[in-house]
Structure 1
């Protein structure tokens, strides 16, 4: 299974935020995506775009309930949204998170392979390479890839700004 290591500077996501039981995430997270997708026009002007005018990325950002971007425990928070310019202001009904800088172990998957690849990363790849998960895992949806494909971003080292 292919994994790559990526350093990503702090970035900003505006989206629809929810909180729920980790064990029930497949029940409450899809509703957030539905709401975000139906109302995307409210934030489309804030979305970060590349030089060709294409969206940079869609994120399923995660955090602990205190919003310190720690790993989920019994509950977690999830933000279904898109990457925006850092100085963007979230419209009413939307939430803005600034994700800290990390070094990530990144693995591509889809909805059918999500669970197996997540387990592989947690139980094999990360410990076998002497890494630790140091924060919440994020989902990145590249607008140029097939619908349903995503990359899991496992934070393995916090990068502090100088």
Structure 2
């Protein structure tokens, strides 16, 4: 299985052996709940149609309390 797994941590936390720590810059995000299979392509089309910029890599996020999954589309750096 290929992919990236990430864990949010404190800035001074040490990454486990074999992991790499990197910092995601602060962005203003468009947060979209993933309730269908085509959320990514639909959101990209929406952003293009409304002239909203995509300013970086899209992140997946699962809310621990609810288990709901979201895609976070960075629009502008803070």
Query: Do Structure 1 and Structure 2 share a fold, with TM-score over 0.5?
Result: yes
- Choose from 67, 86, 89 the match for 2:14: 89
Segments ≥4 residues shifted beyond 3 Å: none
Q: Which protein is richer in strand relative to its size?
A: 1
Greater RCO, CA 8 A, separation 6+: 2
Q: Report matched runs for 1:11-30 at 5 Å.
A: 27-29=1-3
State the Cα RMSD in Å.
Answer: 1.5
Q: Quote the offset at 1:129 in angstroms.
A: 3.0
Q: Which protein is richer in helix relative to its size?
A: 1
Alignment gaps of 5+ in structure 1: 1-26, 30-77
Aligned to 1:128: 49
Number of matched pairs = 78
Q: Report matched runs for 1:7-156 at 5 Å.
A: 27-29=1-3, 78=4, 80-110=5-35, 113-114=36-37, 116-124=38-46, 126-146=47-67, 149-156=68-75
> Partners of 1:98 and 1:106 in 2: how far apart?
19
TM-score (norm 1): 0.44
TM-score (norm 2): 0.86
Q: Quote the offset at 1:81 in angstroms.
A: 2.3
> Partners of 1:108 and 1:129 in 2: how far apart?
19
